[in-house]
Amino acid sequence: MWKKGMLKSTNSTMDERLTDKHCFVLLRQKIKMLLPVCVCVCVLGTVTHFLSSKNAFFTFPDIRELKAVVCTKDTEMDPIYTNIELLTTAGKEISKDVSDHTGCSFRERDPPPCTKTLKFLIVALGLLLLCALTALCVLVVLYFNKGVSSESLSDQCGSAVERMSVQLHNATAAVKELKSHLDRVQADYENAQAQYTRQVVLFNELARKYEALTVEYRTLHEALSNCSGCQNCGQCGEGWRRLGLKCYYFSTDKLDWRNSRDRCAEKGGHLVIITSQNEQNFVTSSLEETHWIGLNDLETEGKWMWVNDQSLTETGVIFWFERKDEPDEPDNWKHEDPSGENCASLGNEEGYTHLWFDSSCSKLKKYVCEK
């Protein structure tokens, strides 16, 4: 609200300044229009006054005033002639009338040369006066123009300063608002960073606990597997061998991989799933030839899965056969079966029963069941 009030007061002040400025400009224009008229009137008045004063200057005295003139001899009449030097032809006629009435005689003389000089001086003074008035008018016009321009510049500077002041105030307010917003964002970022750090620490702690539990599980599993009292107990059933908590069946007949999987299911188990080195050693120690295990990539080539839908990468236990100068297993060899080698077995036709090989699922092999 105070911002709006300030803006309203500023706008009203600017309107008053503009109104005063407009009135001042109109007054200046009217003065400029009236100034030449005044000059012309002054010049005409001066000329008129000059002409009227010239006629008055050459007006002769009354005849009755000449009666007091004392008639003297021709040699004594010089002062009289000196007083009437400026008389014209009309003056000569009057002198005759005076001589007739007074009985005194006047001698006619030519007008002195000082009359022309006086006329020239009067005309020169009039021209000088006219020039002075013209110069004065020019100075007044220049002064008014300068005053108007300086006033206009002053008003423009004032309005520009006011606009810049308002813009500066608005910019300052915007900067303050942006700074407060930046502070809030900075605080949110710091809080998020601290929360992320706590989550990372918690995740690392859980990972360490998981690894510890995994190691403990494997240790317990191996301990149970090595328990001599549970090797041949009769809880698994006829033909089954026990290792820890699991039972294994080693077939004597040969089937393809799919039929081997189904036969294990009929016996209440599944093809063997090897998840530890101890289990690998136990299974391979009883083998003399290749056997099917429960590992395949029938659904997606290269993605090996156990029969319980657990991926090979999840168990983390791998015993593929490795070659020096040739590709390692699995190599998906297609010379015997165009569909490739999509099922895994312990060993191959050449032996190596302690390692894994990929093979054609249609081949007939013995198999290992687990339950």
| Mean residue pLDDT across the chain | 75
Q: What is the pLDDT of residue 256?
A: 95
- The whole-angstrom separation of Cα 240 and Cα 247 is 6
Averaged over 194-203, what is the pLDDT? 92
Q: What is the pLDDT of residue 27?
A: 59
Instruction: Please provide residue 355's backbone torsions phi and psi, each rounded to the nearest 5 degrees.
Output: -130, 170
Identify the top-confidence range among 115-119, 139-143, 311-315: 311-315
Q: Cα separations (Å) of 254 from 292, 298, 354, 358?
A: 9, 20, 19, 17
Q: Cα separations (Å) of 112 from 83, 106, 121?
A: 11, 17, 16
pLDDT: is 4 or 324 the higher one? 324
pLDDT tens figures, 136-154: 887 777 777 776 677 778 8
pLDDT class for 234, splitting at 50, 70, 90?
low
pLDDT tens figures, 24-78: 555 566 565 656 656 665 655 565 555 555 444 444 344 344 343 333 334 444 4
3-state secondary structure of 288: coil
- The whole-angstrom separation of Cα 230 and Cα 150 is 115
- The whole-angstrom separation of Cα 69 and Cα 84 is 12
Averaged over 5-10, what is the pLDDT? 46
Query: Which H/E stretch holds residue 30?
Result: helix 2-57
Q: What is the pLDDT of residue 244?
A: 83
DSSP lists the bridge partners of residue 292 as: 345, 367
Lowest mean per-residue pLDDT among 83-97, 272-286, 337-351: 83-97
pLDDT tens figures, 342-365: 999 999 888 889 999 999 999 999
Lowest mean per-residue pLDDT among 36-40, 241-245, 267-271, 336-340: 36-40
Lowest mean per-residue pLDDT among 7-16, 131-140, 145-154, 158-167: 7-16
Q: Dihedral sign for Cα 332, 338, 342, 345, please.
A: negative
Domain with CATH 3.10.100.10 in the chain: 237-370
Averaged over 212-239, what is the pLDDT? 69
CB 241 within 8 A of CB 285: no
Tokens at 311, concatenated: 């991926």
Query: Which H/E stretch holds residue 154?
Result: helix 114-225
Domain made up of 237-370: CATH architecture: Roll (3.10)
Task: Please check the confidence at residue 250 and state whether its pLDDT lies above 80.
Answer: yes
Q: What is the pLDDT of residue 79?
A: 45
* Burial (0-12, 13-18, 19+ Cβ within 10 Å), 224: middle
